[in-house]
């Protein structure tokens, strides 16, 4: 058992750090959830991609560096440690791309991945519907067979980044006669400016249009934009939501950097006699370190051949609760005028809801990891 990095890993981390030191904007970019900020973040993706730092774990042919998971985690530690901007392309990079690598065609990978890596195509997700949230398999939007493709109808909601994004991916009911709700679903991609698509931005808690409703009215999607076999969408999508809950969405570097930043704020602004608040600052450090070490343990288990299963539910509950607690602590320390922390706080509040609510995750933990009997949800 060790935590030693190889010389090659250390060198990779050093190179990332050096590049970031020379490129990370000195002043934070405007909020990602505004038109101006979205454009600025898109430009940042282009800058990352120009030197092959936007998708380090992808193969070189798609703009990556073929980095292994250890290198990727080190990159993320350096990235967040350097205070680099949030990733506007995250939905595409961490959810759609793994799906394309596993289930897409080589034509789809060749056509879609490089523009994604350069921030030219920013992707939104289209899972939830007004009547299908946690019970996603009850979704009603349809995909009807047409010559050379499919015709989409229905309504999607809570579509993150859709207010400013270019394209979306999601599940549609292609076989209304299927015997079970999660059968007969197909995974499709479509442009957000296609004929028949209406995007209605929705203000999140702070009013910023971080997500949107999508209305689909006879939207034609060619066969080339179906991922995997028609009718197999549920299985394909679930492989991606595992990624979303687990490692690929929330690498520990993000929480380590936030905890370090909170400690600095505490040193600058904290009242040393306020041990109650100091204890919560400590918990930010402890939680981030726990998450980092848990991740290294998961990497080691993965290298030993164990798949990431329901453990991703443990991950999701942990980081989402931790993220809120850290930001609550920051607000109690600094007040609510501090723009970076309040924006982070609003973002963190969504954590226990998206990517499968924490209630669903706790059901999965109890049933799949503890072996408790299934009951009514």
Partner 1 sequence: MRFLLDDEQRAFARSLDGMLTAAGTPAAARAWAAGEHAPGLAVWRGLGTAGVFALAAPEEHAGVGPLPVETAVAFVELGRHAVPGPLVETVASVALLSRLAELGSPDAAERLLPGLVGGSAVATLTLTGVGVGTGTDAGVGTGTGTDAGFDAGGTDTGAGSATGPRALDPDAATVLLAAGDGEIRLAPGHTDPRATLDPTRRSAGLLPGGERLASGAHADTAARRARDWAALATAAQCLGVGYALLDRTVAYVRRRAQFGVPVGSFQAVKHRLADVLVGLEFARPLVFGAAVALAGGDRQAEVDLAAAKVATGDAAHQAARAALQLHGAIGYTAEYDLSLWLLKARALRGAWGGPEEWRGRVVRAVGEVRAAGGRVPSGGECRRG
Identified binder of partner 1 from the candidate list 6, 105, 138, 198, rule CB under 8 A: 6
Identified binder of partner 1 from the candidate list 20, 55, 56, 70, rule CB under 8 A: 70
Please list every residue from 307 through 366 that binds partner 1, using CB under 8 A. Answer: 311, 314, 317-318, 334, 337-341, 359, 361-363, 365-366
* Site size for partner 1 (CB under 8 A): 67
H/E run at residue 105: none
Please list every residue from 19 through 48 that binds partner 1, using CB under 8 A. Answer: 28
Closest distance to partner 1 from the beta carbon of 163 (Å): 23
Q: Which is nearer to partner 1, 7 or 177 (CB)?
A: 7
Please list every residue from 159 through 198 that binds partner 1, using CB under 8 A. Answer: none
> Cα–Cα distance between 186 and 168 in angstroms, integer?
14
Inter-residue contact 173 to 151 (CB < 8 Å): no
Inter-residue contact 173 to 164 (CB < 8 Å): no
Please list every residue from 247 through 276 that binds partner 1, using CB under 8 A. Answer: 259-261, 263-269, 275
- Binding region for partner 1 (CB under 8 A) out of 106-114, 141-149, 227-235, 277-285: 277-285
Strand, helix or coil for residue 357: coil
Burial 298-315 (b: 16+ CB within 10 A, else e): bbeeeeeeeebebbbbbb
- Binding region for partner 1 (CB under 8 A) out of 3-11, 86-94, 107-115, 145-153: 3-11
Residue located via tokens 């930001």: 327
Inter-residue contact 122 to 88 (CB < 8 Å): yes
Residue located via tokens 């394909």: 236
Q: 10 Å Cβ neighbour count for 18?
A: 11
Identified binder of partner 1 from the candidate list 274, 278, 324, 357, rule CB under 8 A: 278
Is 281 an interacting residue with respect to partner 1 (CB under 8 A)? yes
Active site residue 244: yes
Closest distance to partner 1 from the beta carbon of 301 (Å): 6
Is 14 an interacting residue with respect to partner 1 (CB under 8 A)? no
Strand, helix or coil for residue 195: coil
Q: Which of 45, 71, 77, 244 is catalytic?
A: 244
Closest distance to partner 1 from the beta carbon of 244 (Å): 18
> Token pair of 102, please?
């596993």
Strand, helix or coil for residue 128: coil
Strand partners, 172: 186
Q: Which is nearer to partner 1, 177 or 370 (CB)?
A: 370
CA atoms within 13 A on the CB side of 341: 19
Instruction: Please give the C-alpha separations between residue 301 and each of 73, 308, 313, in angstroms, as whole numbers.
Output: 15, 9, 16
Identified binder of partner 1 from the candidate list 290, 324, 349, 353, rule CB under 8 A: 290
DSSP classification of residue 365: I
Closest distance to partner 1 from the beta carbon of 33 (Å): 16
Identified binder of partner 1 from the candidate list 137, 202, 299, 349, rule CB under 8 A: 299
Q: 10 Å Cβ neighbour count for 141?
A: 20
Closest distance to partner 1 from the beta carbon of 292 (Å): 8
> Cα–Cα distance between 160 and 156 in angstroms, integer?
11
Q: Which is nearer to partner 1, 145 or 368 (CB)?
A: 368
Task: Please give the distance of CA 149 from its chain centroid, rounded to a whole number.
Answer: 29
Q: Give contact residues for partner 1 (rule: CB under 8 A).
A: 1-6, 9, 28, 70, 81, 259-261, 263-269, 275, 278-279, 281-283, 285-287, 289-291, 293-294, 296-297, 299-301, 303-304, 311, 314, 317-318, 334, 337-341, 359, 361-363, 365-367, 369-377
Residues classed as catalytic: 244
């Amino acid at each position: 058992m060790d935590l030693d990095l190889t010389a090659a890993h250390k060198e990779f981390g050093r190179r990332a750090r050096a590049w970031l030191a020379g490129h990370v904007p000195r002043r934070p970019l405007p909020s990602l959830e505004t038109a101006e900020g979205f454009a600025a973040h898109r430009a940042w993706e282009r800058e990352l991609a120009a030197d092959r730092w936007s998708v380090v774990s992808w193969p070189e042919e798609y703009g990556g560096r073929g980095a292994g998971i250890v290198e990727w985690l080190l990159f993320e530690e350096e990235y967040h440690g350097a205070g680099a901007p949030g990733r506007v392309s995250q939905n595409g990079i961490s959810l759609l791309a793994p799906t394309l690598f596993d289930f897409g065609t080589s034509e789809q990978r060749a056509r879609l991945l490089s523009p994604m890596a350069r921030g030219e195509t920013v992707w939104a997700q289209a899972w939830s519907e007004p009547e299908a949230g946690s019970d996603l398999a009850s979704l009603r939007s349809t995909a009807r067979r047409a010559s050379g493709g499919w015709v989409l109808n229905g309504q999607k909601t809570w579509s993150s980044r859709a207010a400013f994004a270019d394209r979306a991916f999601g599940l549609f009911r292609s076989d209304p006669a299927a015997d079970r709700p999660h059968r007969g679903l197909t995974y499709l991609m479509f442009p957000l400016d296609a004929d028949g698509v209406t995007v209605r931005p929705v203000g999140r808690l702070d009013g910023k249009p971080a997500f949107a409703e999508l209305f689909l009215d006879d939207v034609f999607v060619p066969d080339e934009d179906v991922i995997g076999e028609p009718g197999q969408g549920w299985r394909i999508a679930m492989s991606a939501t595992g990624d979303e809950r687990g490692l690929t969405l929330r690498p520990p570097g993000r929480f380590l950097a936030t905890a370090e930043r909170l400690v600095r704020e505490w040193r600058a602004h904290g009242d040393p006699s306020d041990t109650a608040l100091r204890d919560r600052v400590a918990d930010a450090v402890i939680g981030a370190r726990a998450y980092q070490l848990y991740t290294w343990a998961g990497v080691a288990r993965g290298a030993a051949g164990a798949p990431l299963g329901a453990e991703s539910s443990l991950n999701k509950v942990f980081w989402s609760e931790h993220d809120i607690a850290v930001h609550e602590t920051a607000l109690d320390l600094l007040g609510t005028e501090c723009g970076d922390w309040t924006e982070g706080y609003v973002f963190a509040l969504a954590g226990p809801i998206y990517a499968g609510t924490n209630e669903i995750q706790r059901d999965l933990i109890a049933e799949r990891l503890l072996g408790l009997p299934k009951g009514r949800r």
